[in-house]
Structure 1
Amino acid sequence: MEPEDYVIKEGPIPHENAKFGAGLVILILYIIVLGRWLGVF
């Protein structure tokens, strides 16, 4: 896939990108918190 195609495809839907980024951050935080909680025991 050409880099230009990727840019054109991603461009019109920035909200999808933002939603994905937010979900990723929440998932990472959840994993860290869960890991610390499990580490206590």
Structure 2
Amino acid sequence: MGKGDKKTRRGKIIMGSYGKRRPGRKKELGKSQTVPKDSK
């Protein structure tokens, strides 16, 4: 269980994959952050 293990977070970072342990970026988060900046 380490860099070569696909099921661990560290292994997913090394392999460049995403999943339950290492979720990918959500586009919704970026949109919600820009809304408060526009309201200033």
Q: Normalising by structure 1, report the TM-score.
A: 0.37
Judging by fraction of residues, say which structure has more helix: 1
Q: Normalising by structure 2, report the TM-score.
A: 0.38
